[in-house]
Chain A
């Protein structure tokens, strides 16, 4: 199963490292990353594979979101299917 992480917030050092760090910690594989910086807003989208994750997806999602909040970032971790079903016929 694949999921998508989106991170939005003020740009600062180490965002990518933090998010990919938490992925590595729980055995989540990062498949693809795109990121852009508009003025000083950071926006990153990460496609992840959670087949070999060490914790359930919902728990991973909560921990990642919580970590985002601690660093003033808005983080969403969602199942890939929601985007596929909405934007592809």
Chain B
């Protein structure tokens, strides 16, 4: 029989340290649903999603009960809608509404893929879809949107960057009475992964199979507890401990992914090895960094600690799963992490420090509230900076900032639920307007002569 200590360790991780499977996400290709008639397209999309994901939520719940591991979210990602709407033309918001209806019918809490990939330029339908994002996010409840505006191989599309600055701002204005849900469901990517199971940036890439199961694990609390048990160890031992813990967490994800794939009769795609925090106490990435020896997240040394954490999570996780993908790394969403919220309140953590941190961890400037009067070209410039970090370092970076309409820095906004609370962070108001208005493309960076 399995060692008693091991059994109690697993139960403790789940009970006390918030270990969970953050999401089972079913990726569904909608390429075969495209039709020149938008109504036919919509009908096919609705039918396909309802057919493929009919048992997704129930299967997730069954696995949860049988294995005793909480599975927090069951979600769907679909082919970027810009590709489908390119065939049909018409108002893309129609697609958002039908996707929302399908998401509600099958009972998933979010559906991602109201997306466009424009890293090199706009194809038919791309610009129309991007301009419709603010309305689409305002009239639906469960739709998430993302736009990829740059990549290491193509450079950065600055026309799209400028447009996204405006879209983020409009999205906030349209949902200012609905708790600013618009921009909290909108991600601007550089090097967006095709198989990401995490919202709001999930979409089902064009090279993916027809239907696939991707799983995102989580467990910042478990890592923090493990690090807290070795208060006097040197940093090598800290890295080893994180690796071992990440291995255990990921094995759980692999098991659930395999089981879900078997029961649903859908191929297993990837496990995303991410440390995804929630506002719950004990589920914070910032607290892991503090456990490593920082007085507060955001202090000098934060980037180094985060680099170690992110790398060790991947090293531990890679061996535990047969296929790893998605974003894989530590997330640093400010409003969703109790430690980050505190650090931002104390003004130890600034947007500039967060930008530096994104150079060494997954994702990017995530769930950051900025003053409501921030001009759209400043938002565009934030996106450009972040995309440049991703482009040059061959990694995914993203921006999900929330312009808090009617509020200034120092105030706070509350999103509720998993989105948490966010102090509004100060943003430099020096104008990048001329740079942003130039448009064009930043050429792809050199992949040799690296210094």
Contacts and interface: CB of A to CB of B under 8 A. Distances in A.
B252 interface: yes
Interface string B253-281: 01100000000000000000000000000
Interface in A46-84: 47, 57-58, 61-62, 76-84
A87 B4 CA distance: 11
B6 A82 contact: no
B66 A34 contact: no
Interface centre among A61, A77, A82, A84 (most CB of B within 10 A): A82
A87 B65 CA distance: 20
A76 B7 CA distance: 11
A78 B69 CA distance: 9
A34 B2 contact: no
Contact of B10 (A34, A77, A86): A86
Interface string B1-27: 111101111110000000000000000
A80 B6 CA distance: 12
B65 to A, nearest CB: 4
Contacts, number: 62
Nearest to A87: B6
B271 to A, nearest CB: 12
Nearest to B258: A85
A61 to B, nearest CB: 6
B401 to A, nearest CB: 37
Given A58-B65, A76-B68, A77-B68, A86 B1 contact: no
B66 A76 contact: no
A20 interface: no
Given A4-B2, A32-B1, A86-B252, A79 B68 contact: yes
B248 interface: yes
Nearest to B69: A82
List the 7 shortest-distance A-B pairs measured between CB atoms, nearest first. Answer: A78-B68, A58-B65, A87-B6, A85-B255, A85-B251, A83-B2, A79-B67
Interface of B: 1-4, 6-11, 62, 65-69, 248, 251-252, 254-255
7 contacts: A6-B7, A58-B66, A62-B65, A76-B68, A86-B10, A87-B2, A87-B248
